[in-house]
Amino acid sequence: MSSSTAKRRFWQGFRDGLPFVVIVAPFAAVFGVLATEAGLSVVETMGFSVLVIAGASQIAALQLMVDNAPTIIILATALAVNLRMAMYSASLVPHLGAAPFWTRAVIAYLTVDQSYVMAVSRYDADPSMSTSEKIRYFFGVIAPVATTWYVFTLVGALLGQQIPDGWALDFAVPIAFLAITAPMLKTVAHLAAALTSIVLALMLAWLPPGVGLLIAGLVAMIIGAEVERRMERAP
Amino acid sequence: MSLSSFQIWTIILLLGAGTFLIRFSFLGLIGDRRIPPYFLRLLRYTPVAVIPGLVAPLVVWPAATNGEPDPIRLVAAAATVTVGMWTKNIFWAIVAGAGALYGLPTLIGG
């Protein structure tokens, strides 16, 4: 493969990743604003976005920190939100498993919803791609997404210190989360899991912060999987 | 927030490390091995199982109204979900939710 093909793959990925900027920028800014409003410093806020780089779990952790949940509960809940990435990791193996160790480590760090979805659908559509083309393409997709994530977290963090109270910003968390989740409710099983989670979380709200949510999440996962199994079996 | 800087960094570092290990799990450590189908099924439901439960109390008992249910926030939440499910687009869902949240008080003169 010539190096110009590899270069072309990077820019192809870059173009495919670019539209995500519209979604990632406001979401990153919301996290930045919320984190500084909650009392985190700008450096701590950036620490989250650079070291974790997983928005939903960052906001989940932040909310539980504000609720004064114990550290172990904060970590368990935020990591549960990220468990789906084990599935991403598994389905990238046939495509990128042959890459050098450190390349795979960097790819793992940069595996987010957008890069995963875009990359796998391109790999499936274009089976002639070599491993190194696939690597270039992956880095192309994630380049605009990750850059936007870092930069707009910083913008949000700096703005957050200047936004006046009374802007109903408390409600940015639910709206951001509902907006991420609603498009995922594609099947009866997904709906069943979501409803279970809502009902149990409200019923168990009297438990220490975060504990009810963890139970609700576990049960909801099992319900979702079980509904899916039964739907498959049905004629 | 009552956490010290040390506690905050502990959370950031452990969450970062844990999230990396999840992402690196198969690609770096386990390799090309079959995941048990039941486990794969559970993984598929992690976001929709955790996030709605996290949001529900914030919608029903908002801290800004001292935990009193607030019609405008309920409508804003419903608008976000409806538009999100309908358009399958995060951006339009946020526009709908924020629009309801800031538009309704103006419309009804609140």
ipTM of the complex, rounded to two decimals: 0.84
Q: Determine whether the interchain pair B48/A222 forms a contact, defined as Cβ–Cβ distance below 8 Å.
A: no
Higher-confidence residue: A205 or B11?
A: B11
The distance from CA A98 to its chain's CA centroid, rounded to whole angstroms, is 25
pLDDT at B72: 92
- Tell whether A202 is within 8 A of chain B (Cβ): yes
The pLDDT of residue A2 is 59
Q: What is the pLDDT of residue A47?
A: 97
Q: Which amino acid is at A109?
A: Y
pLDDT for res A4: 78
Minimal C-alpha gap between B24 and chain A (Å): 5
The string of pLDDT tens digits covering residues B13-35 is 999 999 999 999 989 887 666 77
Rg (CA), chain B: 20
The model carries a pTM of 0.80
* Burial grade of A103 (CB within 10 A; 0-12, 13-18, 19 or more): middle
What pLDDT is stored for residue A226 in this prediction?
Answer: 94
Does B13 lie at the interface with A, CB-CB under 8 angstroms? yes
Q: Which residues of B touch A227 (CB under 8 A)?
A: none
> Across the interface, do B91 and A23 touch by the CB < 8 Å criterion?
yes
Closest residue to A75, CB basis, from B5, B18, B81:
B18
**Shortest distance, CA B108 to any CA of chain A (angstroms):** 17
Residue B48 to residue A193, Cβ atoms within 8 A: yes
Helix axes A172-181, B71-87, angle to 10 degrees: 30
A80 touches B50 (CB < 8 A): yes
DSSP A47-108: HHHHHT--HHHHHHHHHHHHTT--HHHHHHHHHHHHTHHHHHHHHHHHHHTTS-HHHHHHHH
Ordered per-residue pLDDT tens for chain A, 235 residues: 556 777 899 999 999 999 888 878 888 988 999 899 889 999 999 999 999 999 889 988 998 999 889 999 999 999 988 888 888 898 898 899 999 999 999 999 999 988 988 898 899 889 899 999 999 999 999 999 999 999 999 999 999 878 766 666 678 778 878 987 898 898 999 999 999 999 999 999 888 778 888 899 999 999 999 999 998 887 6
CA contacts within 13 A on the Cβ side of A40: 33
A11 touches chain B (CB under 8 A): no
Residue pair B95/B102 in contact by the 8 Å Cβ criterion: no
- Which pLDDT belongs to residue A108? 97
**Model pLDDT for residues B49-106, shown as the tens digit of each residue:** 888 998 999 899 987 788 889 999 999 999 999 999 999 887 888 899 989 998 888 8
- Do residues B32 and A93 touch, judged by C-beta distance below 8 A? yes
- From the CB of residue A124, how many other CB atoms can be counted at a distance below 10 Å? 9
Closest by alpha carbon to A213, among A68, A77, A54, A79?
A77
Looking at residue A215, its pLDDT comes to: 92
Based on the number of CB atoms within 10 Å of its own CB, is A132 exposed (0-12), middle (13-18) or buried (19 or more)? middle
Q: Please give the share of chain A, as a percent, with pLDDT higher than 90.
A: 54
Measured CA angle at A37 (ends A19, A57), to 5 deg: 50
Query: What residues of chain B, 71 to 90, have a C-beta less than 8 Å from chain A?
Result: 73, 76-77, 80-85, 87-90
